[in-house]
Amino acid sequence: MVDIEYRQHLPLVSLARMKANPALVDMPLVKKGSRLSIMPVTDEQWQDILAMAEKRRG
């Protein structure tokens, strides 16, 4: 079990943008044929996604 909490609303970060980010190449979501609704995300991957969302918010 994990604890989760809402922290903030983030702008959409598209799958295409995630696939184009070399830092996310090992993330299961961007690998072909992997479309799970729940999957692990490393701290580094999460920070990259947050940075992408902030750029969009810009």
CA distance 29 to 27: 5
3-state SS assignment for residue 22 = helix
Contact 39, 28 (CB under 8 A): yes
- The answer to whether the predicted template modeling score (pTM) of the entire model surpasses 0.85 is no
pLDDT tens across 2-48, in order? 888 998 888 999 989 999 999 999 998 888 887 777 888 899 999 99
